[in-house]
C-alpha cells in the first residue's frame, strides 16, 4: 500500500515556505471528527466528539458496604461530548469547543446556518436524539431533544431548502402501548425520521421498516421537495438496502428493496446536478473483501448505472460529493490484514476511477466525511492513529482537486515579503513598487505608455522580459497557492474632443489593449509548460481611468497610462 504521513510537516519551496494541510488533534482516549463544512469566511469547521469525564461530588456522610454500590454511584462518569473545531487557511486551529451536556453524547453532522452558525445533529448515549443550533462561536442558541421512549440513534442530519432540517436514524422497537408514535414497533430496529422547521419546531416524526432489523442511513431532498431515503435491513447473515421516496410530509410514494446474496452496506446518497441520485455502497466479493459499489437512479427509481469499483485492497467510500464538472470525489478507507488507511478517490460521471490516494501511517486511519470548497479543493475528516498507539485522534486533511495533499495558504504578509525579496533589485532601483495586497506597480517613466498608445516599446519589452524571468518561476513554484494573476491596463481620464460617453468607451478599449499587448508578449515568450500554467491563472482586464494616479490631489496623467499586476491567493 502507498502511505503518506499525514502530520503537519514543513515543506520548503523555492520562495514561499508552506506546509502540508493535515491536522491531527491529539487528546486523551479515542476521539474522532465525523463531519465538516466550509464557513462563509472560507474557514473550515468540523464536528466530532472527544472523551471526557464528569466530576463526581460524593455525598457527605455516605458509607458504602460493598464495591457494587460504590461502582453504581460513579457510573456514567466517563463518555463522549460533542466537539467543534474551526481551522483557518494556514491550518491554524482558531476555535475548539466542547458542547457539554448533562448526558454524554456524540455528533454525526454539521450544517451551516444563514447567520454563520451551525446546526449539529447527534444523539445521547442513553438513547435520545439531539439537534443543536449554535452561533459562530459555538454557543448554544437552542437544543432539541426528541425521539421515542426507547433507544434511538441518529445517522445524519440533512439541510432542507426551506431552512429546516431532517433527522434520520434508527429506533429500537416499541412494545409499550403508551408510546405516542406507535402502539407497537415494526421490527427489531426501525427507520426513524423527524422533520424540523428552521425555527426548531418539530413538524412530524415517522417510523418505517420491516419485521427485521432496519436502520435509516442517509437522505436527500429532491427538487420537487420529496425526500429520498437510503436505509439498510439486516436479516440473518444478509445486509440488504432499501431506497424510499417520501412526500415532504413523510408519506410514502414508493419503496424498493435491493436484495443480494453478498453482504452489502449503504453509506451515502447525494443528488446530482442532473437531478438524478447516486448512492455509495460497499459489497463483499468472493474473497470476502469489501469493494466500492456505486448506483445511479432517477426519481422514479429506475437504475441508470450500477458499477463495482474493483481495487487491490478492501475499499469503502463513506462519503461522496459531485464537482461542477460532474466528476465525483469520495473518501473512506482502504485496508488489508494489518493496516487501514484513509482513502480519497476521484471518478468521472460514469464511475470510472481516475485517481486514488491513500493517507496515513502503519496503523488505523480513516476518513468519515468530506466537503468541496469554493476553490474546488476538498476537506476530509476522520481519525488518525499514531504508530504503536491504541487511541484514535481527530484528523482533518485538505486535498487538491487531483486529490493530492494541499499546502497551507501563506499569510498575505508572508507572501508579500517573499515577493519583495524576489524583486529587491527592481524596488531599490525604483522600477516598481509592491503593495501588501500583492499588486505590482511600474513606476519607471520609461515603462509608461504615450498618449493613446498601447503597443509596447523596446524598453517596455526588455523590462517585461526580465520581470517575467523572475515572476513566472515564483508563480510556478507556488501554483497551488495562487488563484489569479491579473494584468490590468490603465489610462488617464481625458480624451481630446470627446464627450463623456465616448471618453469612457475609448479609454476602456485603450486600457484593454494595453492589458492584452502586455499579456500577449509575456505569454508568447514562455515554453508550453509555463503557458499551461498561465492559461489557468492569468486574467487580463481594462480598468479605464478608475485607478488613475493622484498626486497632491491632482491626476498625474503620465503615470496613469500604465499596466499593473496583481496576485490573488486562494
Q: How is residue 301 written as a grid cell?
A: 427509481
Q: What pLDDT score was predicted for residue 16?
A: 43
- Please name which of 351, 352, 354, 381 lies closest in space to residue 366, comparing C-alpha atoms: 381
- Asked if residue 279 has pLDDT above 60, the reply is yes
As a whole number, mean pLDDT of residues 71-77 equals 48
Q: How is residue 514 written as a grid cell?
A: 494595453
Contact status, residue 431 vs residue 544, Cβ threshold 8 Å:
no
- Asked if residue 474 has pLDDT above 70, the reply is yes
- Counting Cα atoms < 13 Å in the Cβ hemisphere of 308 gives 13
Collapse the DSSP code of 300 into the 3-class scheme (helix H, G, I; strand E, B; otherwise coil) and give the result.
coil
As a whole number, mean pLDDT of residues 281-289 equals 87
Q: What pLDDT score was predicted for residue 497?
A: 80
More confident residue, 345 or 74: 345
* Model pLDDT for residues 398-429, shown as the tens digit of each residue: 999 999 998 876 667 778 888 999 999 999 99
Q: What pLDDT score was predicted for residue 15?
A: 40
Q: What pLDDT score was predicted for residue 54?
A: 57
- Please name which of 565, 562, 564 lies closest in space to residue 453, comparing C-alpha atoms: 562
Confidence band of 6 (pLDDT split at 50, 70, 90)? very low
Assessment of whether the complete model's pTM goes beyond 0.85: no
- Please name which of 87, 103, 144 lies closest in space to residue 120, comparing C-alpha atoms: 144
Based on the number of CB atoms within 10 Å of its own CB, is 69 exposed (0-12), middle (13-18) or buried (19 or more)? exposed
Contact status, residue 166 vs residue 193, Cβ threshold 8 Å:
yes
Q: What pLDDT score was predicted for residue 242?
A: 92
- Please name which of 334, 303, 154, 313 lies closest in space to residue 241, comparing C-alpha atoms: 303
Q: Does domain 151-173+184-300 have CATH number 3.30.2270.10?
A: no
Q: How is residue 156 written as a grid cell?
A: 445524519
| Spatial distance between the Cα atoms of 182 and 180, rounded to a whole number of angstroms | 6
Residue 404: how many other CB atoms lie within 10 Å: 14
* Model pLDDT for residues 115-156, shown as the tens digit of each residue: 899 999 999 988 999 999 999 999 999 999 999 888 899 999
- Asked if residue 292 has pLDDT above 70, the reply is yes
Q: What pLDDT score was predicted for residue 483?
A: 87
As a whole number, mean pLDDT of residues 63-86 equals 65
CA 29 to chain CA mean position, Å: 26
- Asked if residue 254 has pLDDT above 70, the reply is yes
Looking at mean pLDDT, say which of 350-354, 418-422, 522-526 comes out highest: 350-354
- Asked if residue 10 has pLDDT above 80, the reply is no
| Spatial distance between the Cα atoms of 524 and 36, rounded to a whole number of angstroms | 43
Q: Does domain 412-569 have CATH number 3.30.1330.60?
A: yes
If residue 417 lies in a helix (H) or strand (E), which one and from where to where? helix 412-422
| Helix, strand, coil shares, percent, the chain, to 5 | 15, 45, 40
Contact status, residue 252 vs residue 244, Cβ threshold 8 Å:
yes
If residue 463 lies in a helix (H) or strand (E), which one and from where to where? helix 458-477
Read off the DSSP letter of residue 406: P
Collapse the DSSP code of 421 into the 3-class scheme (helix H, G, I; strand E, B; otherwise coil) and give the result.
helix
Collapse the DSSP code of 390 into the 3-class scheme (helix H, G, I; strand E, B; otherwise coil) and give the result.
coil
Q: Is the dihedral of CA 100, 103, 109, 115 positive or negative?
A: negative
Confidence band of 361 (pLDDT split at 50, 70, 90)? confident
Go through the chain and tell me how many residues it has.
570
Share of the chain above pLDDT 70, in %: 89
* Model pLDDT for residues 169-217, shown as the tens digit of each residue: 999 876 555 555 544 455 678 999 999 998 889 999 999 988 888 999 9
Least confident of 45-59, 324-338, 486-500, 533-547: 45-59
| Spatial distance between the Cα atoms of 519 and 513, rounded to a whole number of angstroms | 10
For residue 298, CA distances in Å to 41, 257, 274 come to 35, 15, 9
Q: How is residue 255 written as a grid cell?
A: 419503496
Beta strands (DSSP E) in 238-377 are 238-246, 252-258, 264-271, 277-284, 290-297, 303-309, 314-322, 328-335, 340-347, 353-359, 366-372
If residue 156 lies in a helix (H) or strand (E), which one and from where to where? strand 152-159
- Asked if residue 368 has pLDDT above 50, the reply is yes
If residue 339 lies in a helix (H) or strand (E), which one and from where to where? none
Place of cell 509575456: 522
Packing angle between helix 500-524 and helix 528-537, nearest 10 degrees? 150
Residue 223: how many other CB atoms lie within 10 Å: 9
Q: What pLDDT score was predicted for residue 61?
A: 54
Q: What pLDDT score was predicted for residue 3?
A: 34
Confidence band of 480 (pLDDT split at 50, 70, 90)? confident
| Spatial distance between the Cα atoms of 127 and 123, rounded to a whole number of angstroms | 7
CA 531 to chain CA mean position, Å: 30
Q: Is the dihedral of CA 244, 379, 25, 115 positive or negative?
A: negative
Looking at mean pLDDT, say which of 182-186, 210-214, 219-223, 334-338 comes out highest: 219-223
Contact status, residue 489 vs residue 563, Cβ threshold 8 Å:
yes
Beta strands (DSSP E) in 456-549 are 482-489, 538-542
Domain ranges in the chain are 151-173+184-300, 412-569
| Spatial distance between the Cα atoms of 115 and 117, rounded to a whole number of angstroms | 5
For residue 356, CA distances in Å to 306, 340, 346, 376 come to 20, 15, 6, 17
Q: What pLDDT score was predicted for residue 62?
A: 58
Q: How is residue 511 written as a grid cell?
A: 486600457
- Asked if residue 72 has pLDDT above 50, the reply is no
If residue 95 lies in a helix (H) or strand (E), which one and from where to where? strand 93-99
Based on the number of CB atoms within 10 Å of its own CB, is 15 exposed (0-12), middle (13-18) or buried (19 or more)? middle
Contact status, residue 157 vs residue 145, Cβ threshold 8 Å:
no
Average pLDDT, the chain: 87
Amino acid at each position: 500500500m502507498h502511505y503518506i504521513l499525514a502530520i503537519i510537516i514543513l515543506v520548503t519551496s523555492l520562495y514561499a515556505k508552506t506546509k502540508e494541510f493535515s491536522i491531527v488533534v491529539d487528546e486523551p482516549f479515542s476521539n474522532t471528527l465525523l463531519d465538516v463544512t466550509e464557513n462563509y469566511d472560507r474557514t473550515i469547521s468540523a464536528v466530532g466528539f472527544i472523551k471526557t469525564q464528569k466530576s463526581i461530588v460524593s455525598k457527605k456522610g455516605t458509607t458504602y458496604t460493598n464495591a457494587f454500590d460504590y461502582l453504581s454511584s460513579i457510573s456514567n462518569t466517563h463518555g463522549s461530548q460533542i466537539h467543534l473545531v474551526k481551522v483557518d487557511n494556514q491550518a491554524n486551529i482558531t476555535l475548539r469547543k466542547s458542547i457539554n451536556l448533562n448526558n454524554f453524547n456524540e455528533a454525526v453532522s454539521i450544517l451551516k446556518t444563514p447567520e454563520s452558525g451551525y446546526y449539529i445533529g447527534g444523539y445521547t448515549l442513553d438513547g435520545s436524539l439531539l439537534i443543536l443550533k449554535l452561533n459562530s462561536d459555538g454557543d448554544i442558541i437552542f437544543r432539541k431533544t426528541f425521539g421515542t421512549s426507547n433507544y434511538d440513534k441518529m445517522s445524519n442530519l440533512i439541510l432542507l431548502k426551506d431552512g429546516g432540517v431532517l433527522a434520520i436514524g434508527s429506533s429500537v422497537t416499541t412494545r409499550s402501548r403508551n408510546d405516542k408514535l406507535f402502539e407497537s414497533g415494526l421490527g427489531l430496529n426501525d427507520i426513524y425520521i423527524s422533520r424540523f422547521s428552521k425555527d426548531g419546531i418539530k413538524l412530524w416524526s415517522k417510523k418505517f421498516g420491516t419485521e427485521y432489523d432496519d436502520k435509516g442511513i442517509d437522505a436527500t431532498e429532491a427538487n420537487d421537495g420529496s425526500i429520498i431515503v437510503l436505509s439498510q435491513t439486516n436479516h440473518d447473515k444478509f445486509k440488504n438496502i432499501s431506497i424510499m421516496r417520501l412526500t415532504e410530509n413523510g408519506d410514502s410514494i414508493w419503496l424498493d428493496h435491493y436484495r443480494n446474496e453478498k453482504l452489502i452496506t449503504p453509506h451515502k446518497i447525494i443528488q446530482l446536478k442532473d437531478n438524478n441520485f447516486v448512492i455509495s455502497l460497499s459489497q463483499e466479493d468472493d474473497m470476502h473483501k469489501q469493494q466500492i459499489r456505486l448506483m445511479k437512479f432517477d426519481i422514479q427509481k429506475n437504475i441508470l448505472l450500477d458499477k463495482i469499483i474493483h481495487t487491490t485492497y478492501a475499499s469503502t467510500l463513506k462519503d461522496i460529493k459531485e464537482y461542477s464538472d460532474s466528476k465525483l470525489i469520495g473518501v473512506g478507507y482502504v485496508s488489508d490484514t494489518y493496516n487501514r488507511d484513509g482513502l480519497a478517490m476521484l471518478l468521472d460521471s460514469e464511475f470510472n476511477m481516475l485517481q486514488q490516494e491513500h493517507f496515513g501511517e502503519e496503523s488505523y486511519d480513516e476518513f468519515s466525511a468530506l466537503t468541496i470548497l469554493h476553490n474546488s479543493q476538498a476537506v476530509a475528516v476522520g481519525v488518525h492513529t499514531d504508530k504503536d498507539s491504541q487511541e484514535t485522534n481527530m484528523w482533518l486533511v485538505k486535498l487538491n482537486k487531483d486529490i493530492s495533499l494541499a499546502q497551507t495558504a501563506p499569510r498575505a504578509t508572508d507572501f508579500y515579503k517573499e515577493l519583495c525579496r524576489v524583486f529587491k533589485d527592481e524596488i531599490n532601483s525604483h522600477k516598481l513598487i509592491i503593495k501588501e495586497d500583492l499588486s505590482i506597480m511600474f513606476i519607471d517613466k520609461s515603462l509608461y505608455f504615450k498618449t493613446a498608445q498601447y503597443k509596447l516599446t523596446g524598453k517596455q519589452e526588455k523590462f517585461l522580459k526580465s520581470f517575467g524571468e523572475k515572476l513566472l518561476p515564483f508563480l510556478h513554484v507556488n501554483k497551488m497557492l495562487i488563484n489569479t494573476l491579473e494584468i490590468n491596463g490603465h489610462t488617464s481620464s481625458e480624451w481630446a474632443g470627446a464627450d463623456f460617453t465616448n471618453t469612457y468607451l475609448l479609454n476602456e478599449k485603450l486600457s484593454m489593449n494595453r492589458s492584452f499587448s502586455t499579456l500577449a508578449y509575456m505569454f508568447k515568450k514562455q515554453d508550453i509548460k509555463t503557458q499551461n500554467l498561465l492559461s489557468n491563472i492569468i486574467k487580463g482586464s481594462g480598468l479605464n481611468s478608475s485607478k488613475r494616479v493622484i498626486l497632491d490631489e491632482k491626476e498625474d496623467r503620465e503615470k496613469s497610462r500604465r499596466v499593473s499586476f496583481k496576485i490573488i491567493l486562494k
